[in-house]
Amino acid sequence: MIDQIWLWIGFNAFVLAMLALDLGVFHRKAHAVSFKESITWTIVWVALALCFNAGVWWHFGEKKGVEFLTGYLIEKSLSMDNVFVFALLFSYFAVPAQYQHKVLFWGILGALVMRAIMIAVGAVLISKFVWIIYVFGAFLILTGIKMIFKREQAIHPDRNPIVLWFKRLMPVTPDYRGDRFFVVEAGRRCATPLFVVLILVEFTDLIFAVDSIPAIFAITTDPFIVYTSNVFAILGLRSLYFALAGMMHKFHYLKIGLGVILVFVGIKMLLAHSPYKIDTVLSLAVVATILAASIVVSLLRPASSVPPAVGPSPPAAP
């Protein structure tokens, strides 16, 4: 028990140290993140995740090591949808390139807190009510089928109910004020459009977490493995965005692949307590194959046109 507590403390201390290093040293001054910089950080985060995976394998054994790797791969693949939506939001609200990293930094930090809460709740539910596994499994299958067959729809962030509610709660400046989230003008405290975008980033991750958290519980119910695989997938999300944002439209079969992955892990969850239980190693192979196939097919069969995914472009500020 004591060892487990120190594992949790040590891991969270490591995460906080890396975030402090990121914001306090490498991104102390607002700047546009270059492709080279984003690729470098993407490699760093993937390497750290694999090193941690080796540690899990050595400390907890092969089973836990495979569970972490499978969970990390699932969470990483599902986070591709977040990257696409981030690109849409930044484009829609015309967020200057040099301020995008700050929005994603605080957005990811908020996502870590929200996901930690959701994982804790999910772990308690599964331990208290075994039947909740079947609810999660059915939900993942339905979500996957919907993702496979649903057509792309125009997104209108300014019509989001969360944004409309916030604008009634606090005045918003007509344009950006550098990289600041709040300013005081004419004696009133106002939010800037940058904070509105941050709210949408947090809301977007919350929506995607509803799919991804049950998906990882299909692989393992160990809270530490679930949490750490989620954290590593999320921490690399910012650099992944800057590396892929400009080419996400090329992976037009990726959404179908993600839908198939969700259906697969949903079926795995439904079979968890049956004689036909799907082995974790097999799950890892299936998820990796589906993800790789969807990317390869996308590159081999380019889309004839890129459908518009956002509504008419608004002015620089909402």
Close Cβ partners of 201 (under 8 Å, ≥ 6 residues apart): 86, 89, 103, 104, 107
Name beta bridge partners: 172: 191
- Contact by Cβ (8 Å): 118, 230: no
Q: In 3D, which of 306, 281, 287 has the Cα closest to residue 144?
A: 287
107 and 205 Cβ atoms separated by less than 8 Å? yes
Q: How far apart are CA 79 and CA 302, in angstroms?
A: 22
User: What three-state secondary structure class fits 183?
Assistant: strand
Residue with tokens 């929506």: 207
Q: Is residue 312 part of a domain?
A: no
What sign for the dihedral angle of Cα 222, 223, 228, 230?
positive
- Is the pTM higher than 0.85? no
| Structural domain range at position 243 | 2-300
Residue at 26 is within a domain: yes
Residue 318 lies in a domain: no
In the chain, the amino acid numbered 38 is S
Angle between helices 80-92 and 237-244 (to 10 degrees): 60
178: nearest Cα among 102, 242, 111: 102
Evaluate whether residue 27 is within a structural domain: yes
Position 68 scores a pLDDT of 93
Q: Does the residue 67 lie in any domain?
A: yes
pLDDT of 57: 92
Residues in the chain: 318
Residue 317 lies in a domain: no
- pLDDT at position 175: 85
Residue 310, in any domain of the structure: no
pLDDT tens for the chain, residues 1 to 318: 556 788 888 888 888 888 777 665 555 666 667 777 788 888 888 999 999 999 999 988 989 999 999 989 888 887 777 777 787 788 778 888 888 888 888 888 888 888 888 888 888 888 787 788 888 888 888 888 887 887 665 556 666 677 788 888 888 888 888 888 999 888 889 998 899 889 888 887 887 777 778 888 888 888 899 999 988 988 888 777 777 766 666 777 877 888 888 888 889 888 877 788 888 788 888 888 988 888 888 888 876 654 444 444 444 444
| 306 domain-assigned | no
Question: What pLDDT score does 2 carry?
Answer: 58
Number of domains comprising the chain: 1
